[in-house]
């Protein structure tokens, strides 16, 4: 793998702000970003990604590649929780194993957003349909995680709640924002859409930097809660995303030759949800410990992906081709 690629990733300004957030928390600084501001920025990032993706889709035909990409996304979001659940069940309670499996089968919109910045640094683009792939991958993992818990945990209090979980996962704020923005981007008039381009494009990286600053502070605060679970979950939170990311970065080469799209497949398969899944699991799996699956996703997998993971997935795309 190209060492220059890793160095370029580690010196990305947005990533450096993430590191600043970690440092601020470790030295007990009083640096703080208002929660309302962070909520606005997170919604803005999802809006910008969704809208730009919709605009791209509006100018492209619905091809076999797009259909297969959507299908592969659903397959990835279904397979990952299935195989990881049986690995986790050997060392965890069923409810915890189901929650962690759903977390790693689902996706992180924030990691996806950070990946767009990485691709831009490599002077690469990706298809707008990948935003739709991300939105589709949110729900299947949650549903499969709940089904596995209901099957293997006979005392589960989540029994009978599957319909509510399915509804919640579809109406989750982050999913609704990115999906709605995607649809609006598709149907919006192109000339009028140009009028908001400075808002959706020019200031995007600045908002992303501030958002990752906050993510760094949150990540550092999660470290303490995570330590008590030991080496197994730490190793899982790195090795499993690495395997998934490399595997789907390579497998996606069977349906697309575009390096940006293949990279995004790797990132989506490697990412772990720490927003949508925890919200759903609080309802479906109240016995599952949020102090386990949230720190795994946010405290270990997220920083791993944006520092080491992304260069690895990009290298897999660069050096493994089927054409």
Residues 6+ apart with CB under 8 A from 21: 212, 213, 214, 215, 216, 217, 218, 219, 220
Residue 76 lies in a domain: yes
Residue 183 lies in a domain: yes
Answer whether 0.75 is exceeded by the pTM: yes
pLDDT of residue 134: 86
Residue 174 lies in a domain: yes
Task: Answer left, alpha or beta for residue 123, where phi above 0 means left and psi between -120 and 50 means alpha.
Answer: left
Q: How many domains does the chain have?
A: 1
Residue 14 lies in a domain: no
Residue 4 lies in a domain: no
In eight-state DSSP terms, residue 158 is: T
Name the token pair of 81.
Answer: 């929780």
- CATH of residue 194's domain is 1.20.1530.20
Residue 5 lies in a domain: no
CB of 72 within 8 A of CB of 265?
Answer: yes
Q: Which residue has the tokens 């509804």?
A: 167
Task: List the domain range (segments joined by +) for residue 241.
Answer: 33-317
pLDDT of residue 252: 95
Q: Which residue has the tokens 């925890």?
A: 278
Name the token pair of 45.
Answer: 């990032």
CA quadruple 75, 77, 83, 86: dihedral positive or negative?
Answer: negative
User: Would you mind telling me the total number of residues written for the chain in this entry?
Assistant: 323
- With CA atoms as reference, report the closest residue to 72 among 147, 142, 138, 136: 136
pLDDT of residue 298: 83
Residue 322 lies in a domain: no
pLDDT per position in the chain (323 positions), as tens?
A: 556 666 666 677 877 888 898 899 889 898 888 888 888 888 888 788 788 878 877 777 788 999 999 999 999 999 999 999 999 998 888 989 999 999 999 998 889 988 998 998 888 999 888 988 888 887 788 888 888 887 887 665 554 456 666 666 666 666 678 778 888 888 888 778 778 878 877 788 888 888 888 878 877 876 665 666 778 888 999 999 999 999 999 999 999 999 999 999 999 999 998 877 776 777 777 787 877 888 888 888 998 998 899 999 999 999 888 76
pLDDT of residue 162: 60
pLDDT of residue 63: 87
Question: What's the Cα-to-Cα distance from 313 to each of 23, 139, 188, 308, rounded to whole Å?
Answer: 27, 24, 34, 9
Residue 13 lies in a domain: no
């Amino acid at each position: 793998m190209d060492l220059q690629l890793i160095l370029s990733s580690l010196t990305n300004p947005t990533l450096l702000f993430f590191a600043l957030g970690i440092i601020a928390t470790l030295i007990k600084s009083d640096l703080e970003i208002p929660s309302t501001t962070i909520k606005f920025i997170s919604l803005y990032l999802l809006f910008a990604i969704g809208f730009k993706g919709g605009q791209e889709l509006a100018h492209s035909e619905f091809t076999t590649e797009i259909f297969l990409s959507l299908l592969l996304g659903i397959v990835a979001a279904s397979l990952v929780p299935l195989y990881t659940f049986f690995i986790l069940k050997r060392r965890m309670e069923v409810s915890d194993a189901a929650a962690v499996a759903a977390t790693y089968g689902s996706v992180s919109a924030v990691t996806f957003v950070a990946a767009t910045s990485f691709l831009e640094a490599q002077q690469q683009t990706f298809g707008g349909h990948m935003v739709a792939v991300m939105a589709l991958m949110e729900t299947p993992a949650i549903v499969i995680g709940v089904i596995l818990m209901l099957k293997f945990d006979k005392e589960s209090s989540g029994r009978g709640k599957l319909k509510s979980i399915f509804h919640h996962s579809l109406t989750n704020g982050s999913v609704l924002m990115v999906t709605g923005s995607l649809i609006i981007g598709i149907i919006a008039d192109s000339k009028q859409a140009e009028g908001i381009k400075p808002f959706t494009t020019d200031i995007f990286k600045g908002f992303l930097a501030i958002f990752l600053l906050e993510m760094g502070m949150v990540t550092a605060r999660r470290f303490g809660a995570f330590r008590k679970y030991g080496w197994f979950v730490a190793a899982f939170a790195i090795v499993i995303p690495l395997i998934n990311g490399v595997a789907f970065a390579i497998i996606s080469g069977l349906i697309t030759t575009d390096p940006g799209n293949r990279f995004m497949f790797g990132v989506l398969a490697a990412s772990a949800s720490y927003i949508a899944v925890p919200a759903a699991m609080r309802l479906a799996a109240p016995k599952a410990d949020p102090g386990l699956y949230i720190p795994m996703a946010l405290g270990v997998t997220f920083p791993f992906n944006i520092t080491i993971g992304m260069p690895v997935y990009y290298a897999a795309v660069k050096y493994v081709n089927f054409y």
